[in-house]
Amino acid sequence: MSSSLSKVRAIALSYGIVTHPSPSSYTDPAHRLGGRIINHLWRNWGEDSCGLRDGEVDLYSVNIPLVEGLLTEEGLKIYWTQMWRNSYGRLFKNIAPRSTPLINPAGPDAPTEAKVEADSSAEQDDAAGELLFRWSPEMKGLISPSANSLPVGSDGWAIHNGAASVTALRASFGEPHNHPVSDPDAVLWKMKL
C-alpha cells in the first residue's frame, strides 16, 4: 500500500496456511507459482482510469493457499477476484491483573522460564477498575469462514476452494467513487447539530 501511494507499482503476495503445520513440500511450488504470477502481472500491468500512476492499476494482491494442489502437474487454478469484505472480531482480550506481578530477573527478552514472582512487599497498584489487555485477535471468521459467507469471485472464495487469487486494488483510504457533483446544494448537509 505504501509503495502504491507513492506511485510505485506494487504487488502483495500472501500464502494461506490451510493445514497446520503446513508441509514444507508446499513452499517451493508456492514460490514458483508466486514468481510466475508476479512476472505475468509486471509484464501485463492492468489499466484503471482512476489509478494513481498514469491510469494503471495501483496494486495487486496475490493469495496462494498452501494446499496439496500445488504438488500436482496441473497446479492450482488462478482466479481474477474481488476483495472479500470481511472484518476481524475483537483484537484484544481483557485479562485480569495478577495480584503478584511476574518479573524476569534476567530482563524482558530472556526466556519466560526465568520469570519469578515479584517480592510481595513491593508496592502494587490496586486501583479499582484497572484493565490489562493481551493481543488475542478473534480471527475464526477469517481463518475458517462458512462457505456461504464467501461471495463467489472473491479472494476468500478462491482460497476456500483451493485456488490462487489475483485482485487488482486501488490505493485509497477514502470513500468509493461516486458520481461527480455539479450542484453543491445537492450534497449540503441539512441537519443541524
Query: In this predicted model, what pLDDT tens digit does every residue of 53-100 receive, in sequence order?
Result: 888 999 999 999 999 999 999 999 999 998 887 766 788 888 866 555
Residue with cell 482460497: 159
Would you state the cell numbers that stand for residue 80, as one nine-digit string?
481474477
Pairing status of strand 92-94 against strand 59-66: unpaired
Q: Which domains occur in the chain, in start order?
A: 1-88+143-172 (3.40.1210.10), 92-136 (no CATH)
Q: What is the pLDDT of residues 6-30, one digit of tens each?
A: 888 999 999 988 888 889 999 999 9
- Of residues 127 and 94, more confidence is placed in 94
pLDDT of residue 61: 94
In this prediction, residue 123 has a pLDDT band, given cuts at 50, 70 and 90, of very low
Q: Are 55 and 104 in contact (CB under 8 A)?
A: no
- Cβ–Cβ < 8 Å for 91, 175: no
pLDDT recorded at residue 190: 78
In one-letter notation, the amino acid at residue 124 is Q
What pTM value is reported for the model? Answer: 0.67
